[in-house]
Chain A
């Protein structure tokens, strides 16, 4: 019954991409000038794609809901970007990056895609440096690297704790150059409302001008969706407030299959929730785990005392602390992959060892004491201070930590009012990234011809769990080095098509549907705000479809989400009109889509009866609480076809074939 053709090229793994590039069709420069491409989203994937396509000669129309492409949420990525450069000479290679990524993803990604990603990773660093991205350097003037979770080499390039920002500004610069030339027409403060399909092909979008409220038609020969992930389905996440699933969900409703929605990453090091008034969670970079040690008290009474404020973290002696990651996973210690670290923290908090004094008690310590003293001693030696006092050593060590993580420490202090140089940080897992997304083939095309999905928006190369510093790598790989080639193969058919008219019945129909929906929201005589429903959805998602899932909870979640959705349409209130900026109206449209996606998410989680990566089914674990995969039944990509209600979605399976890597139980012990 499957309609899925992943179009993976034949041949040995390491030659697939090269031979594919050599064999796909090209569009000559003169013809590119007659072809329009729409790019929705201007983060790392969309921004790099828009810039590169314009450099090639295509006419690009780029859309973002923010007031400038520079504000896309890629900007918030802190830690770094991976590349198999092996500048440190520590045994890194394309193969090793490929292997780490497949293993880190718990063997639920496509070998060929991941290999290609590892292959082009080195080009990304070269390209970014040429653009003027100021990566960190050592005193010899060469690029510096750090280490991230789930790997045993140092392959992560970084720009302080602002790597995402610097890479995005690189893309934005490249886009700016093309905007100045007129090759990119930029539509800021525009939101894509629907995809328009003409003759079976994606031929344009309906967009809403968020400043005037006007509904606009935009046509093109291909549409690229680079709108990011759907983590905000949980209401509280580390995503930006505006991050939404709507562009991806709209193309899903127009025929693009949605893959592995239940694969969601819960990031272990976020600042714990402070209370009910909170609207956003803040991430602390994974790079902190290079130097921070994670622990909870060994004795439950100590945990209670800390929660009640009777004891401080620093009062506990070394032997009274449980460094649970180091205890459970001696080989990788605090640098286990994110899913493993998150679950371990949850396990300790569920057992009553949480240290936060709020309603949930949920937090663990991330302690820099040992690192401060270690670096301090090292510095004292370098400076020739032989009988340094503890205070001197601490001062020197704090300086080293400050140079590495200064901005993160400052941000932590700003939010919590605690000084992490003096007392350990408190952290807890939070929703961060979605591995699932729109299903795409090797060419990054969805099941709708002419509609492509790149970056976090597609279901991507991360399988069931993404390694740190790989999201930036994938976004830029897709946008700079993959899509610009593969889209040409598709567009080669369109060199004689000419401009796509926007007065066709297909555009009429799509525009009408959008207007009807907007009219519904502004005229609905409800009593509750959009956020009220979003928060309720988020609670169900977090409690029943969060870090640990079981059959009963998932079934309840499906029913509850459906219920919330029905209430939403009956009782939502959107003040104001559609004649200008109306942020409640924007939210209403986005939450309406989350309310559908959430249900599919739970359905996918229910169907996948195994534990793998970010998806943990309580029924499938070892007595020690480690995840148990069921390879003989679930080594596939679950791609869902829209059929009206989320509950009617039809499952298509793309079998994952491993020819180069042997499936093993993932172990970081």
Chain B
């Protein structure tokens, strides 16, 4: 399988892998949002879905590792490429006008990526690690109705809500470039469909993070 190694260590192969992991994360984010959003209008649905996701073996032992791999790969490769790309220009320009030819967020994916990474650390600390501890370390008894209360409680802290919202603004920027970029990377470009993809990308990049922020604010304000 040396061709496989060669392919995925080539510049274009890496680009593909970045794009595929990104597309996977985009889909994951959509379903994450869909589940979270139910917390706004139905405690019951939210608890049911969370319970399913949290206990279904297929989700826990097949999809979760893929997700973790996808997240880790996307971050690690993002850093590797950033370092390599940085080395491709060893002497910098004295005067450079990036804004004349590209958007700020397309040039600063690493910045938005880092903020998102920081957020994920917080997020893991808040939700994922307690979950894992709860289920696989402490083997605490499962209460299918605990999820909504636990989640909503987290949003009482205004600082957390602030960090949460800011991170999603950065995620939005990341997606504004990343969504269509992923399609371009895998070669999905066509004069008929690309404008549509661009439009969907824009809507997705703004609507989904805005939705997450809305959920956080909703629960925060509701609790006041």
The answer to whether A and B touch in the complex, with CB atoms under 8 Å apart, is no
